[in-house]
Amino acid sequence: MSILLYRRPDYVAKLDGPMDAADYQKNIERSRKAIPIELCFENVVSNRAMPPCSLHDFMGYLLYVCRDAENLQFYLWFQDYQRRFYALPQTQQNLSPPWNEETLLQTGGPLVADTGPRLSDKTLDQAVKYKISFEENDLANSFIDERPAVSGPVDQAYAQSGLKWKSLTETLRSHSHPNFIRWSMANGNTPRIIFGRVLGTLNIIFGFLISFLLLFSPKPRWWRIFAALTWFLGFAFLLAGSNGICLVLYVTKDRHLRPWEQFSSSELSIPSSKSGKSKKYYGSDEESDQYTLGGSDTYSMSLDSKSSLRKTGGRFAVEAFGTANSYGHEVWVEKYRAKMMIRKIFDTRVWVQNEHLRIMQDKVSLQSVLWSLIVTIPLTVLFTALPRGHGY
């Protein structure tokens, strides 16, 4: 019975204002029930989840789908900053003590929780300017309550209180991450899912057409049972499609490649930094582990961040507080837009590597088949029991 009532992770709408503790806790509890522990936020951001739920995929979802990658970019930058800080000798760490009540009394600034290493004025100045530049481009998911007028050096105490680290992580955990897992469950692109739902609807209509034609014909009533096949397939495709699942791709355990994943590095131009500074890549270790994803077409994906990020034109190469996250200029946009619709429907496929995501897809697909069976059986019995109409 539980499989019939299974629900994939609910879509979490973005709030207009800051998220309070009650909303955060409610979203967290809801996502824990629907998302396996193996696909939790910590495993995703630490790149311990297999595609299509890796950190690389999470960044792609926020960048290209939500257009809301700034929180994750800052989160990864700050994690990298902490890693580098604690890798320093203790004598150098002591030069930058954490903020606490004693620091408050000495500086007269606002009280900030002792959460880790103290950032330099230059780094904080970059951070606030980075945030403001994204707001000007309407691309930021705000984790600063208000944008102040910044005309000179940024006061360290203000920046520490302005960067709502807790609010940022809560937004990632309770909003971005559940929506990403929900989106990752879809194994087909939008044209394929729409095609499947239209196909399901046509099968249902065709089933009713067969039933009514046989109902008013002199043929024996048992012939009407043949309509059950089209009803069963139609309802199954329609219900699965409503959850983003294409049953054909599900049977083969494949998924469609995202548009930005479909073109090799030789086909894409990697944008260079206007400032001439080297780009900072966040992800796994320096060593590259290559995996070949099977399917109708082979696609080599590297778990190493530098290799895999270059495959998408370097758009996941996060230059610390660099340019805005726009992607309209990228080559894949025009290439994918120029694709014929029939090619999009039957697009490049790869194997779904993440077994825990496949289990979630199993539940949705099995649920669709069972509900289709539950609806088909009464319809078939009803039309078979009706007397012949002798309409022609």
Average pLDDT, integer, range 356-375: 96
Q: What is the pLDDT of residue 257?
A: 95
**Angle 259-263-269 from CA coordinates, rounded to 5°:** 110
Q: What is the pLDDT of residue 2?
A: 82
Hey, what amino acid is at 116?
G
Q: 3-class SS at 292?
A: strand
User: Which tens digits make up the pLDDT trace of 265-276?
Assistant: 555 444 444 444
User: Which tens digits make up the pLDDT trace of 58-74?
Assistant: 999 999 999 889 899 99
Hey, what amino acid is at 324?
A
Residue with tokens 């939790």: 40
Nearest-angstrom CA–CA distance, 110 and 101: 10
**Angle 331-323-336 from CA coordinates, rounded to 5°:** 15
pLDDT at 38 over 80: yes
Alpha-carbon torsion (19, 25, 26, 30), positive or negative: positive
Task: Read off the DSSP letter of residue 37.
Answer: G
Q: What is the pLDDT of residue 295?
A: 32
Q: What is the pLDDT of residue 95?
A: 85
Q: What is the pLDDT of residue 99?
A: 64
Nearest-angstrom CA–CA distance, 118 and 111: 13
Name which of 241, 260, 245, 256 is nearest 337 in CA terms: 260
Q: 3-class SS at 79?
A: helix
Q: In which element (H, E) is residue 270 found?
A: none
Nearest-angstrom CA–CA distance, 182 and 77: 25
Nearest-angstrom CA–CA distance, 10 and 130: 32
Lowest-pLDDT choice from 50-54, 97-101, 128-132, 230-234: 128-132
CA dihedral of 306, 37, 82, 127, whole degrees rounded to 10: 70
**What is the residue-averaged pLDDT of the chain?**
76
User: Which tens digits make up the pLDDT trace of 262-321?
Assistant: 876 555 444 444 444 433 333 333 333 333 333 333 223 333 333 334 343 444 544 444
Hey, what amino acid is at 256?
H
Nearest-angstrom CA–CA distance, 181 and 40: 9
Residue with tokens 């880790």: 116
pLDDT at 371 over 60: yes
Tokens of 81: 């900053």
List, in sequence order, every residue forming a beta bridge with 351; answer none if it has no partner. Answer: 254
- Please name the residue ranges forming H helices in the chain: 21-34, 41-45, 55-60, 70-86, 90-93, 101-107, 121-136, 156-162, 165-171, 177-184, 190-215, 227-242, 247-251, 305-310, 331-337, 341-345, 355-385
Name which of 261, 333, 245, 336 is nearest 297 in CA terms: 261
CA distances from 149 to 18, 26, 154, 345 (A): 21, 35, 10, 49
